[in-house]
Amino acid sequence: MPSEGAVLTLRGKGLPALNSGHVGDLHVRVNVWTPAKLTHEMEALFAQLREVEGEPPAEKSSRGFWDRMKEALGG
């Protein structure tokens, strides 16, 4: 799994180059911020979100991160 600050390169998913049929790469920097301490308001909002979203889907151990990325991007 990529760590915070990691740059992921999605080949062929970027912007098209001018005057050519070539499509560039998309570079995505991973920035994750997790609050160290939740306020009562934040806890209430997360509780509301949990009610709306329900349980998270079970992770399939046979598929790795890149397999899921390819699937999400239609590859």
**Residues 56-72: tens digit of each pLDDT:** 777 665 667 788 888 88
Asked whether residue 45 is assigned to any structural domain, the reply reads yes
pLDDT at position 9 is: 93
Q: Which residue has the higher pLDDT, 59 or 18?
A: 18
User: Under DSSP, is residue 33 helix (H, G, I), strand (E, B) or coil?
Assistant: coil
Is there a domain that residue 72 lies in?
no
Q: Which residue range is the domain that position 6 belongs to?
A: 1-54
pTM: 0.43
- Inside any domain, residue 15: yes
Residue 63: inside a domain: no
Give the per-residue pLDDT at 24: 92
Name the domain count of the chain: 1
Give how far the C-alpha of residue 33 lies from the chain's centroid of Cα atoms, to the nearest Å.
13
Domain assignment present for residue 30? The answer is: yes
